[in-house]
């Protein structure tokens, strides 16, 4: 079922004490919208966050995981490790993972498979770079990213997939895609899904927008018919701003 979701991607921010503080501040906010709320702290703080938020309406999710189930992969974290502390959703394919850690469509397809096989929900990220948009190639790039990493899946796999369109040029730059640019791309993504899997699947998948979403622009972006929420970076590190975005629905 298509849901509204606002997920905070904390990236490599907040040590344990800062995590405790931000969680307390989040617990002091009130939610007035129907959006599902998620936060993605660093691996070292997931267990603490999970314990602290047990009674709250906030899901704790991971920022990444390896595609292997276990083994000699120094420094990596597996799906069963995440599941063993209660994590049920993982962000995969963030543009920073693609750009700085060489994650390709191929490795992401393997990560998606491992996650789904282990009943882990996936927030799958993708998006074009500025040069792609300038050369009017953005739709082809996004279509390729989705097809290469996801189109080997059966239709029912999409019950456990959330898509996050994040134009690279809008991440952490203060430059947001206009609500119209976001809507156009989200409609294109839904059509791409519909062409392969049919309208029922396409209409049931939540598609989030990410890239400099702030309290000031969230309402307009979330007001677009094919935008089902946001993946929030910088603004998720401030509890009031984050809840202003959650409550923008
Ligand atoms: P930003 O990051 O909100 O700081 O632009 C979004 C993201 O990377 O998910």
Mean pLDDT of 19-25: 98
Mean pLDDT of 58-63: 98
Mean pLDDT of 153-158: 98
Predicted local confidence at residue 176, as pLDDT: 85
Per the annotation, the verdict on 66 as an active-site residue is no
The rounded Cα 36 to chain-centroid distance in angstroms is 12
pTM above 0.85, yes or no: yes
| 186 Cβ contact list (under 8 Å, min separation 6) | 165, 207, 209, 224, 226, 227
Q: Single out the catalytic residue among 36, 59, 103, 166.
A: 166
Predicted local confidence at residue 20, as pLDDT: 98
Computed over every residue of the chain, the mean pLDDT equals: 97
* Pocket flag, ligand 1, residue 127 (CB < 6 Å): no
Long-range contacts of residues 157-160, Cβ cutoff 8 Å, at least 24 apart = 157/116, 158/193, 158/197, 158/201, 158/204, 158/205, 159/204, 160/116, 160/119, 160/120, 160/121, 160/122
pLDDT band (50, 70, 90) for residue 175:
confident
pLDDT band (50, 70, 90) for residue 66:
very high
| Nearest atom (ligand 1) to Cα of 164 | 9
60 has which bridge partners? 39
Predicted local confidence at residue 120, as pLDDT: 98
* Pocket flag, ligand 1, residue 8 (CB < 6 Å): no
For ligand 1, the distance from its centroid to the CA atom of residue 188, given in whole angstroms, is 21
Q: How many residues in total does the chain contain?
A: 249
The residue whose CA is least distant from atom 6 of ligand 1 is: 233
Predicted local confidence at residue 78, as pLDDT: 98
Q: How many C-beta atoms surround the C-beta of residue 55 within 10 A? A: 7
Is residue 228 pLDDT above 90, yes or no?
yes
In angstroms, the first-to-last Cα distance of the chain is 17
Mean pLDDT of 194-211: 98
Is residue 61 pLDDT above 90, yes or no?
yes
Predicted local confidence at residue 232, as pLDDT: 98
The residue whose CA is least distant from atom 3 of ligand 1 is: 233
- Whole-angstrom Cα distance, residue 76 to residue 244? 34
pLDDT band (50, 70, 90) for residue 172:
confident
| 193 Cβ contact list (under 8 Å, min separation 6) | 146, 158, 201, 202, 205
For ligand 1, the distance from its centroid to the CA atom of residue 85, given in whole angstroms, is 26
pLDDT band (50, 70, 90) for residue 194:
very high
Per the annotation, the verdict on 59 as an active-site residue is no
Is residue 1 pLDDT above 80, yes or no?
no
Predicted confidence (pLDDT) per residue in 96-152, tens digit: 999 999 999 999 999 999 999 999 999 999 999 999 999 999 999 999 999 999 999
* Pocket flag, ligand 1, residue 172 (CB < 6 Å): yes
Mean pLDDT of 229-237: 98
Q: Strand, helix or coil at 200?
A: helix
Predicted confidence (pLDDT) per residue in 82-98, tens digit: 999 999 999 999 999 99
* Pocket flag, ligand 1, residue 241 (CB < 6 Å): no
Nearest CA to 95 out of 167, 179, 10 is that of 167
Q: Strand, helix or coil at 231?
A: strand
For ligand 1, the distance from its centroid to the CA atom of residue 13, given in whole angstroms, is 13
Alpha helices (H) along the chain: 16-27, 43-52, 79-84, 95-100, 105-117, 130-134, 138-150, 179-197, 199-204, 215-222, 239-246
pLDDT band (50, 70, 90) for residue 72:
very high
């Amino acid at each position: 079922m298509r849901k509204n979701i606002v997920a905070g991607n904390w990236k490599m921010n907040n040590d344990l004490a800062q995590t405790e503080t931000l969680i307390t501040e989040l617990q002091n906010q009130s939610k007035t919208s129907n959006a599902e709320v998620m936060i993605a702290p660093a691996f070292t703080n997931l267990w603490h966050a999970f314990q602290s938020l047990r009674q709250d309406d906030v899901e704790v999710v991971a920022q990444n995981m390896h595609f292997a189930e276990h083994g000699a992969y120094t420094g990596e974290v597996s799906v069963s490790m995440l599941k063993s502390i209660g994590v049920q959703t993982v962000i995969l394919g963030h543009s920073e993972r693609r750009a700085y850690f060489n994650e390709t469509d191929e490795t992401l397809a393997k990560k998606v498979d491992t996650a789904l096989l282990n009943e882990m929900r996936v927030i799958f990220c993708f998006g074009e770079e500025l040069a792609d948009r300038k050369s009017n190639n953005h739709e082809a790039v996004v279509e390729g990213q989705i097809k290469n990493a996801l189109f080997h899946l059966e239709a029912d796999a999409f019950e456990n997939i959330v898509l996050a369109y994040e134009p690279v040029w809008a991440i952490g730059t203060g430059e947001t895609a206009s609500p119209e640019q976001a809507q156009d791309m989200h409609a294109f993504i839904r059509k791409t899904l519909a062409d392969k899997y049919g309208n029922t699947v396409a209409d049931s998948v939540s598609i989030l927008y990410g890239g400099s979403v702030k309290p000031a622009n969230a309402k307009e972006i979330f007001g677009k018919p094919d935008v089902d929420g946001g993946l929030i970076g910088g603004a998720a590190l401030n509890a009031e701003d984050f809840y202003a975005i959650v409550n923008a629905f």
